[in-house]
Amino acid sequence: MFLGIFAGVDPVKAEAGLNVNADGAIMVDGETGRVLYQKNADSPLGIASMTKMMTEYLLLDSVKHGKVKWDQEYTVSDLVYKISQPTGLSNVPLRLGEKYNVRELYEAMAIYSANGTTIALAEVIGGSETNFVKMMNDKAKKLGLKNSKFVNSTGLNNKDYNGEQPQGTGAEEENVMSPRDVATLAYHLINDYPDVLKTASTPKKVFREGTDDRIVMQNWNWMLPSLVYGYQGMDGLKTGTTDFAGYCFTGTASRDGKRFITVVQNAKDVSGKNDGYKARFGETKKMLDYAFSNFTKETLVPKHYQVKGQKTVPVIKGKEDQVKIYTKSAINMIIQNGGKQDYKPVLVLDKNKLNKNGELTAPIKKGEKIGYLTVSPKNGEKVSFLTSEGGQKVKVDVIAVNGVEKSNWFVLMMRGIGNFFGDVWHGISTAVKGWF
Active site residue ranges: 49, 52, 113
Q: Which 3 state secondary structure label does DSSP give 82?
A: helix
Amino acid of residue 287: M
User: How far, in Å, CA of 281 to CA of 177, rounded?
Assistant: 20
C-beta separation of 403 from 365 below 8 A: yes
Of 314, 313, 319, whose CA–CA distance to 415 is shortest?
Answer: 319
CA dihedral angle for residue 379, residue 384, residue 389, residue 392, rounded to 10 degrees: -10
CA dihedral angle for residue 384, residue 385, residue 390, residue 396, rounded to 10 degrees: 0
C-beta separation of 210 from 224 below 8 A: no
Angle CA(174)–CA(176)–CA(180) in degrees, nearest 5? 165
Of 306, 313, 329, whose CA–CA distance to 370 is shortest?
Answer: 313
User: How far, in Å, CA of 75 to CA of 101, rounded?
Assistant: 9
Of 47, 5, 119, whose CA–CA distance to 385 is shortest?
Answer: 5
User: How far, in Å, CA of 288 to CA of 7, rounded?
Assistant: 25
Give residue 274's region: left, alpha or beta (phi > 0; psi -120 to 50): left
The dihedral of CA 198, 204, 207, 209: what is its sign?
negative
Q: 258 vs 253, 394, 398, CA distance in Å?
A: 8, 15, 26
Is cis: bond before 363, omega within 30 of 0? yes
In DSSP terms, 263 is beta-bridged to 26, 250
User: How far, in Å, CA of 196 to CA of 41, rounded?
Assistant: 25
Structural element, H or E, at residue 281: helix 276-294
Which residues, 6 or more positions from 131, have their beta carbon under 8 angstroms from its beta carbon?
none
Residue 34 has φ and ψ, to the nearest 5°, of -65, 130
DSSP type of residue 414: H
